Structure 1
Amino acid sequence: MEMLREMAIFAQVVDSGRFSAAARQLGLTTSAVSRHVARLEAHLGGRLLHRTTRALALTELGEQVHAACARMLSTAREIHLLAGTYSARPNGVIRVTAPVVFGQVWLAPKLPAFLALYPEVDVRLTLVDRTVDLIEEGADVAIRIARELAPGLAARPLCGMRYVLVASPGYLAEHGAPATPAALRERPCMHLDYGPFGNQWTLRRGGEKVAVSVASRLTINNSGAILAAVEARGGIGLLPDFTARAALAAGRVVQLLPDWEFDEPYAGAVHAVYLPGRHLALKVRAFIDYLANTGSGPADLTPS
């Protein structure tokens, strides 16, 4: 059975093109991925990859083994998806992952109504701010926020999202609101600090584009925590619209520069991601259909 895991990891290395990229996809360290591939080579008695500092190349044996591994993984996915496809109605457990704050404010409130519609389905929701490998971690559906999704997966769009600048009324009463993106350079700004996020912001308004580098004494890896710091008069925060919506509606924060849109990496859409194949379990299809039908476009940020 261990060899099957090594074959799956080897296939991911080849598909990703690098050990480090495969490690990120699998949630492992690069050294662990390398050890798995080395053990598979030892099992098979031959080298599978030519390693250079810039790229990987398959040996003749590696090409044949990779083709066999791809067939194995395809079969495994088919077997995984067969469960529940032949029953008369959705049933069983759905394992779902989602980003932490999005799961709290958008997804979790929708789940009671889904469970009422499908009394024979249970949901196991895991909230985590990293990319989850569906096969490795046994997830049926992953909610992902991105402009581009990784290849090899099926995806269904759920809703739009955008990032917005906010500040507390108390902060604005003391310091005033920035009138232009360039004025942000002189203000304390808070933002996410993981993955591609950072203090280099590109804003667009029609055909106008402005790039600014903001001062960031406080960065946090959770948008809910950034909102809390903004409400405590900590400065200006850059937040996903779903995080800011309730606070905006309640008047606890105010949106700044509403005519400007943020470009990458602060841009994207929300998708339900799942394994492709001919046999999609009824419980998974019902869950994704439900989310797509109850989703919406970008949040209406006008307080009502």
Structure 2
Amino acid sequence: MNTESLLVAEMLVFAKVVELHSFAAAARQLDLTTSAISRSVGRLEAYWGVRLLNRTTRSLSLTELGAEVYAGCAQLAHTARDVHAAAGHYADTPRGTVRITAPAVFGDSWLAAQLPSFRRRWPEVQLSISLSDHAQDLSEQGLDLAIRIATPAQLPPNMVARALRPVGYIAVATPQYLHDLEMHLGAPLQHPAQLLALARAGQVQCVALGYGGFQNRMLWQSAEASPADRGAAATEPIEVELPAPVTLDSSNGILSLTLQHQGIGLVADFAAAAALAGGALVQLLPDWRLTGSYGQRIAYALHMPSRHVPLKVRTLIDHLVAAGKAR
């Protein structure tokens, strides 16, 4: 590599270090070692005979000259990204690696099932997927795509979002547990008020999501008609609070306990789909829907804004959108 080419490469590395405020973060994103990143910046400083960064064990800051140099390096990096993205945008065939983060249970239960058909159609695209319930920073972690379950109001304003599919929360139980509840009632379970009666008699409990606003408090609303079709009084949700001796932050854990007849499980619909289809679980009160904390959300595909979204990313998003519509 000649001096000019080497200088450009070092400038791009320097821009990434400043952008991420970290040698280690830049190393992860550029797939280099931290020491290689440090040497690269050192060579740039030696080439110009100036100090660009003030370094301590805990922080980095730009020198006065470093700030001026960074402005030019950042523009160079921006231009390089635009050229790279434009080339990928107009390529005939999607190829390369798409790095994705998704919620753990959603990734296991729904996302993974959509990938074989995508890979059969686009074998030159590799998928690197990190399943985590903690929101990750796409820029810092070097990710192309994040799948998040949220309401529209919860979406980050600095990202582009496409809706993949709705996500509802449902109450499920084993057929045996439901049978026992109906034996206590002496009638089919058809109304949330019956759950209240069972709770007062100490004859029912639930296994609930134990984080955020979820917990064991449920608001039930009839699914038969919208508020526009009926009077406001008729559409007031019915509040039900059940004993919850166990709460978990995982739908898979809730399903495991529910399948062992430990109570009514409150889970996302995609997590319970296989058990419902196989008859191991049944949905309670299917003519009612949960609102409030357990109200419907949407699974979104999020990516950073760009004039040219890489073809490999656009193709995967389109595939997932189509899968969500076809479910």
TM-score of the superposition, structure 1-length normalised?
0.71
Residues 16-64 of structure 1, C-alpha deviation per residue, up to 9 Å, x if partnerless?
A: xxxxxxxxxxxxxxxxxxxx9x956x7579xxxxxxxxxxxxxxxxxxx
Counterpart residue identity of residue 283, structure 1: K
Matched, 1:5 2:20: yes
Match for 1:197 among 184, 207, 214? 214
Paired position in structure 1 for 2:118: 114
**Identical positions, percent:** 39
Secondary structure of the 2:91 match is coil
Paired position in structure 2 for 1:272: 301
Number of aligned residues: 245
Counterpart residue identity of residue 157, structure 2: P
- Over 3 Å counting, the alpha-carbon distance change for 1:255 and 1:209 in structure 2 is same
Counterpart residue identity of residue 155, structure 1: A
Counterpart residue identity of residue 120, structure 1: E
Match for 2:141 among 116, 134, 137? 137
Match for 1:281 among 307, 310, 327? 310
Quote the Cα distance in structure 2 between the aligned partners of 1:175 and 1:228. Answer: 20
Secondary structure of the 1:84 match is helix
Matched, 1:241 2:269: yes
Shift of 1:86: 4.3
Match for 2:285 among 217, 235, 257? 257
Paired position in structure 2 for 1:188: 205
Counterpart residue identity of residue 250, structure 1: G
Residues 57-99 of structure 1, C-alpha deviation per residue, up to 9 Å, x if partnerless?
A: xxxxxxxxxxx8xx98x94995585573343321100011111
Residues 229-257 of structure 1, C-alpha deviation per residue, up to 9 Å, x if partnerless?
A: 11110010111111112211221111111
Confirm or deny: 8 A CA contact 1:166 1:238 kept in the other structure.
yes
Shift of 1:182: 3.9
- Over 3 Å counting, the alpha-carbon distance change for 1:75 and 1:193 in structure 2 is farther
Match for 1:105 among 103, 109, 127? 109
Quote the Cα distance in structure 2 between the aligned partners of 1:146 and 1:127. Answer: 16
- Over 3 Å counting, the alpha-carbon distance change for 1:213 and 1:82 in structure 2 is farther
- Over 3 Å counting, the alpha-carbon distance change for 1:252 and 1:278 in structure 2 is same
Paired position in structure 2 for 1:17: none
Unpaired runs of 5+ in structure 1?
8-35, 46-67, 300-304
Secondary structure of the 1:277 match is coil
Match for 2:248 among 206, 220, 223? 220
Quote the Cα distance in structure 1 between the aligned partners of 2:87 and 2:211. Answer: 36
- Over 3 Å counting, the alpha-carbon distance change for 1:200 and 1:81 in structure 2 is farther
Quote the Cα distance in structure 2 between the aligned partners of 1:76 and 1:234. Answer: 58
- Over 3 Å counting, the alpha-carbon distance change for 1:209 and 1:280 in structure 2 is same
Confirm or deny: 8 A CA contact 1:78 1:277 kept in the other structure.
no
Paired position in structure 2 for 1:209: 237
Unpaired runs of 5+ in structure 2?
1-13, 23-55, 65-70, 183-187, 226-234
Residues 110-140 of structure 1, C-alpha deviation per residue, up to 9 Å, x if partnerless?
A: 1111111112110111111121211111111
Confirm or deny: 8 A CA contact 1:78 1:279 kept in the other structure.
no
- Of Structure 1 and Structure 2, the greater helix share is in 2
Counterpart residue identity of residue 111, structure 2: L
TM-score of the superposition, structure 2-length normalised?
0.67
